[in-house]
Amino acid sequence: MLVNARSTAAPGAPFEATKIERRDVGPTDVLIDIAYAGICHTDVSRARSEFGKTNYPLVPGHEIAGTVSAVGGEVSKFSVGDRVGIGCFVDSCRECDHCKAGLESYCRVEHIRTYNAVGRDGKVTQGGYSEKIVVDEAYVLRIPDSLPLHEAAPLLCAGITTYTPLRHWKAGPGSKVAIVGFGGLGHVGVSISKALGAHTTVLDLTMDKEADALRRGADAYRLSTDSTVYTDYADTFDLIVSTVPANLDYDAFLQMLALDGTFVNLGVPKRPISFDVFSLLHNRRSIAGTLVGGIEETQEMLDFCATHGITAEVEVIDADEIDRAYDRVAAGDVKYRFVIDISTMATT
């Protein structure tokens, strides 16, 4: 079937109205009418070919929320009318030990990304900046009724990207967590960390988001450019989660870790990271990274957010505003996530 979408044809090229082909609904497939699609910083980087190979024309979007409009004959998990979401991947090998353990994002063969990947049919996947998408039910998430779709869409990336390290490194009562960067990921991560019971500190470049951070659950907010923060918090944090794509002074951040503390890097700096090994040896510290969680954990995250009233703070835009939104995301000028109203997709 042909559906309306927005695509970009080259690095820096504007988004244009187009039509893309979606496959017919197979026996285990779900057809989703997309209501909203979030704009992730990764979308901007992929569209502008800032890392990895980009297959053009590109239809980005891996923060997808909508409703089921048709199901295949063997589908058992979903029915027409269900509120659902799609995150960063739409398939994996399903046979390796990682997939069988619910860690599909670490598939030994390769998880198939929602866009800019090659699917089982040999075609390049196209994402959520489109009216409809067809996905196997095993990779579809159920969005709880209490989460508004436009505020839930970013949780499919920003939510699970921060939930995964917080859960894996056991953020909870008695632990101290620092979130570096209060932006698209950080503003969700702060609320999740606090809801898990951890004492949560935000480290950011400016103070203009302090009130928002405290409102979303932060216990403290400090300037990362203030050198005193590194001595004030020396040997303090059990977990530091960096959400920023910039290269940092890793030695300065590592010295804030307590015994057996871990620094988790979620951003993708443009240059290789560098630090002194003695920053790790002291206090038996670790530096790590994660991808998004698997399907089971992503569903757990959505249910957790529903229970604790956690959503993303969004600015809803029309499809014609994507280029302007990209420039603002690149400049850090958004509080805190752009979400495209897909009902405007056909507008020219």
Strands in 220-223's sheet, in edge-to-edge order, are: 220-223, 199-204, 176-180, 237-242, 257-265, 286-289
What is the predicted pLDDT for the residue at 270?
80
Q: In which residue ranges of the chain is CATH 3.40.50.720 found?
A: 159-289
Euclidean distance between CA atoms 324 and 98, whole angstroms = 39
Element (H, E) at 231: helix 228-232
Half-sphere exposure of 49 (CA within 13 A, CB side): 12
pLDDT value, residue 48: 95
Angle between helix 295-308 and 158-168 (nearest 10): 100
Per residue in 299-319, pLDDT (tens digit) is: 999 999 999 999 999 999 999
pTM: 0.95
* Architecture field, domain 2-156+312-344: Alpha-Beta Complex (3.90)
For the residues 216-234, what does the mean pLDDT come to?
95
Q: Where along the chain do the CATH 3.90.180.10 domains lie?
A: 2-156+312-344
Q: And the tokens for 234?
A: 């020396």
Amino acid at 182: F
98-128 pLDDT tens trace: 999 999 999 999 999 999 999 988 999 999 9
| Mean local confidence (pLDDT), 31-54 | 94
What pLDDT shows up at residue 316?
A: 98
pLDDT confidence bin for 245, thresholds 50/70/90: confident
d(CA 137, CA 71): 9
pLDDT at position 25, please? 97
Question: To which residue do tokens 């046979």 refer?
Answer: 95
pLDDT in tens, 273-291: 899 999 999 999 999 999 9
Fold classification of 159-289 is Rossmann fold (3.40.50)
pLDDT of amino acid 347: 64
DSSP secondary structure letters along 107-143: -SS--EESSSSB-TTSSBP--SSBSEEEEEGGG-EEP
Q: Is the pLDDT of residue 56 over 60?
A: yes
